[in-house]
Each structure stands twice: as C-alpha cells, then as structure tokens.
C-alpha cells in the first residue's frame, strides 16, 4: 500500500472517529444545561435521577428529582445526612414516606412532597441521601441549592404554597 493511500485512510479514520464522538463545534447550549442533581441506581433497574435539595437559609426545604422503576418497587423511607459548613457530617434524619411505584412508572419527589428540615442543610454543600426501597437501598450524595436560585424558584414557590 502506498504512503498516499495510507495517509488518506488514516485521515478518513480520524474524521470518522471525530464525527462519531458526538462533539459539536458550537459547544455549550444554554437552552439545554446539564442536570443539576445527582444520579444513582440499583442493579434491579430502579433509578434516581436529578436529585437535589432546595432549602431556605434555615435548612427547611424540599427534595426534588425523580425515582423510576422498570419492575416496580415501594419507596418506604428516606434518610439524609447533611454536610456541615466545616465539612463534617451532621445527624442523620429520617423522612417516613410510603409510595408504591408500579412497573415502568416514575415518581417525582416534589409531587409527594418530601419536606425536610435541618439547620445543617445549607446551599453549596452536599447531603448523603439514602432511599429505602423494597428492592434495595440507593445511597448517594446530592447537592443542596438555595431556594432563591433562579432554576428552582418555581419549585420553591409550589412547595411553599
């Protein structure tokens, strides 16, 4: 194979690889920002998506995000442990909630609603969240946002009616 054909083949492979990566020349699209919350899932195909806390300056607020299931599950409770401003963990809190999710359905936490209150829940920090499901527990860190954040003003207004 001649050097010319090798170079053309290599250039074609590089061009195809770049085209197939899904990269765009335009970059960031403001109308479609990435999700603000955290994601986690179980092998049983129960998934928590875009989960976060929205709180006021006293630590009172709501949990928002979505829990989905393929085969069905029961949300039995949730536990959260806020991160203190010094980085240490606060006291674990328990929210009793009982919601059944039928196969192929989703639950939006803000529709339950899941109310929280802990002075250590403060914007800019994390909280460890554990969703207690009949199919297993999902444990992950989620961000805490301020209630006056522009992305969550509507959710906050709805939650505090």
Q: pLDDT of 2-58, one tens digit each?
A: 778 787 777 777 776 666 665 555 555 555 556 788 999 998 889 999 999 999 999
Average pLDDT, the chain: 87
Collapse the DSSP code of 9 into the 3-class scheme (helix H, G, I; strand E, B; otherwise coil) and give the result. Answer: helix
Burial class (CB in 10 A: 0-12, 13-18, 19+), 98: exposed
Looking at residue 83, the DSSP 8-state letter turns out to be B
The domain spans of the chain are: 33-159
Looking at residue 157, the DSSP 8-state letter turns out to be H
Between 7-16, 88-97, 116-125, the lowest mean confidence (pLDDT) is in 7-16
Residue 138 has pLDDT above 80, yes or no: yes
109-117 mean pLDDT: 91
Q: Tell me what percent of the residues of the chain surpass a pLDDT of 90.
A: 61
pLDDT at 7: 77
pLDDT at 133: 96
Between 34-38, 86-90, 100-104, the lowest mean confidence (pLDDT) is in 34-38
pTM of the model: 0.77
pLDDT at 19: 63
pLDDT class of 1 with cuts at 50, 70, 90: low
pLDDT class of 73 with cuts at 50, 70, 90: very high
What is the architecture of the domain spanning 33-159?
Answer: Sandwich (2.60)
Structure tokens at 37: 């919350």
90-106 mean pLDDT: 94
Looking at residue 3, the DSSP 8-state letter turns out to be H
Q: Tell me what percent of the residues of the chain surpass a pLDDT of 70.
A: 86
């Amino acid at each position: 194979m001649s050097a010319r054909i090798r170079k053309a083949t290599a250039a074609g492979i590089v061009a195809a690889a770049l085209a197939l990566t899904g990269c765009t020349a335009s970059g960031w699209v403001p109308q479609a920002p990435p999700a603000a919350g955290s994601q986690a899932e179980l092998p049983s195909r129960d998934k928590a998506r875009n989960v976060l806390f929205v709180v006021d300056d006293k630590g009172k607020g709501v949990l928002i995000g979505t829990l989905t299931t393929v085969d069905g599950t029961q949300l039995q409770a949730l536990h959260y442990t806020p991160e203190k401003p010094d980085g240490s963990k606060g006291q674990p809190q328990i929210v009793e909630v009982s919601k059944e999710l039928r196969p192929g359905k989703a639950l939006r936490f803000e529709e339950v609603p899941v109310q929280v209150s802990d002075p250590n829940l403060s914007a800019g920090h994390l909280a460890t969240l554990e969703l207690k499901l009949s199919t297993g527990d999902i444990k992950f860190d989620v961000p805490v946002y301020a209630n006056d954040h522009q992305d969550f003003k509507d959710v906050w207004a709805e939650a505090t009616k």
